[in-house]
Structure 1
Amino acid sequence: MLEAIGLSVKINGIPVVKDSSFFIPEGKITAVIGESGSGKSMTVAALLRMLPVDAQAYGEICFMGTDLLKATDEEMAVLRKRKFFTIFQDALNSFNPSVKMDRQLYAFSAGRVGDDQDSFQKKMKAILGKLNLSSEILNQYPFELSGGMLQRCMIACALYVKPALLIADEPTSALDKVVQKEFLKWLRLLNESGTTVLIITHDLDVVADAADEMIVMRKGEIVETGAVADILARPTHEYTKRLLDSRF
């Protein structure tokens, strides 16, 4: 699905991601885990070609035969619209508080694939029902919904679009444990529908509950990769061992 080869990111000449290579297998849920400042989010920003203006990326990021670092702006715009879908840490920040949900969900879903309003209303109401959300939320404003409901709205849009790759950057950090488990259940539903998922997190419980594969980052470097079950049972790097010890 996606492979990074020798990926490095520098901000004002200072390395924040260092010669990282990893593979995201198609049809799986892969988690990138590490403490704050480990380079997780900068790795994703490089993947999406959404780095800060003072940052530069080097190496290769190959997605379905395309090197994302060499793709044109037009090619990246198409990929971000049709192939990628991103859910960020605080769903409320993804929505305009003064615009009702129906217009915003349309833009995030039907507007990306070219469906008209009638098709959107029919499809979106069915998807919201699967996620235990009332269609009445379409007439509400974002501030009238909880954080967990807003995250489910983003999942609903992803289910509508059916992207090749969903990127979830710290999607559960603002949720309590009960809502977090619900969100991860819907994330797995999306994965089962055919979308490959990449989760960025610092929470080992999220990795253990949802991911098939994991990538461990520390200070801009990848220190361990492999199947979640294998790493949790037999970690090889000292940093991974410390992460596991801190879980208990």
Structure 2
Amino acid sequence: MRILHRSAVTALFIMISTAAARGDSLLVGNLANAPFGSDAVDAADARAQGFKTGGRDWNLTSIEAVLGGFNPGGTFAVSAVLAASTTNALGKDVPDVSSPLATFLVPTIDASFATLNFTPMTNFVLKANTEYWFVLTVTAAGGTPFEWQYTYDTAIDSASEGILTSAAATIPPGSGVWVSQPNAPYLIQVMGTPVGAVPEPSSWIIGGLGFSSVFMLVRRRRSAPVAG
């Protein structure tokens, strides 16, 4: 019986911890918009989508992008990084890929398009009122490894605190020169937690219920009659 009680207590603590961890919020996104087309991401064509934070710092937890069209032929490696913003020769904002700010774990990309989650490999704080770029590049031996869907709808989710800026690509292909592509943002969503944010009320309630359950469980265990 003692083992059973300990298992129940452990399960409750896991439930409490999980509930408290569900605090991710939307910084900015446009996944509700209808896709218009998709751009190839291959050895010659790197792609990026810019976004800008609002009036407070955020802990970055994930970035989602709608990718697909996977081509199993050829050998390639996918890189997903967060880059700072710089200006090109035309004075347009583009990603500065010379010193990536963060690197993401790359999920499996399939033939069918899907919203894929990219998780940063280390903790990173997005500074307030700052522009960043989510950059996808490929080292490949021929072919088009995958594609990234874009939209002509420039609206963003109403819950967004930040904004989407511009898309960008290396043009001409293979040049390594970044060119801004306004009015056709890639489908993307940036998630995080505001720095210094308190847990949501629901987390406190669930946590309170969990601790109450633990207390009652322990109390019952202690008050149970001891066999002679």
* TM-score (norm: length of structure 2): 0.22
Structure 1 or 2: more strand by fraction: 2
Structure having the higher helix fraction is: 1
Structure exhibiting the larger radius of gyration computed from Cα positions? 2
Give the TM-score of the pair, scaled to structure 1. Answer: 0.21
